[in-house]
Amino acid sequence: MLRDREKRVLVLGGAAAAVLLLFTFVVFPGVSRLKTLARASAAAQNDLAEVRKARPEIERIQRDTVQRAGVVRAAANRKESPLTRIATVLQDASIPQSAFSVKSGGVRDGETFREESFDVRLENLTYLEAVKTLQRLSGPDVPMVVRSATLKSRYDDARYLDVTLRVGYLSPKP
């Protein structure tokens, strides 16, 4: 049999072991989890603040998308092909037909629109003509989006540019 002193030492040792196990498996992981959740909460609050700041911009983009969708639906009723429509817009911008070429670049389906992409190459443009052409192609009344533009000065005369545009012609998704 154990003496009282040995029983007390054994009980104290067991209690110390229980306290160590409690701290190791309950308290320290709990504190760590609280810190992690506090950091996640702070990050979520910062993200929410950023979204609230961006709300006017998001609403403007939504309005523009609705307007563009109306233009796209209206253009879908036209009988001319996208290639003809692009050529017409370029000729309306006073670009002679001999100064541009258009090549098809493929089709991509989005959530609500189908986009046919075209590579438009324009030669011997002034800077003002290039800007006017970009404005015409990405204007609010045409179902087109200029995805990229490459402007290169001509080697023979720096006043003129060669412009390569990636234009997306939008149509409703069938």
Q: Which residue has the tokens 């493929």?
A: 106
Q: Average pLDDT, stretch 4-10?
A: 83
Q: Where are the domains of the chain?
A: 1-77, 80-172
- Position 39 pLDDT exceeds 90: yes
Pick the CATH number of 80-172 from 3.30.70.60, 1.10.10.60, 3.60.70.12, 3.30.450.20: 3.30.70.60
147 Rama class: left (phi>0) / alpha (psi -120 to 50) / beta: alpha
* Residue type at position 52: R
**Percentage with pLDDT > 90 across the chain:** 25
CA atoms within a 13 Å half-sphere pointing along the CA-CB vector of 161: 17
Q: What Å distances lie between residue 5 and 16, 17, 19, 40, 54, CA to CA?
A: 16, 18, 21, 51, 71
**Global pTM?**
0.62
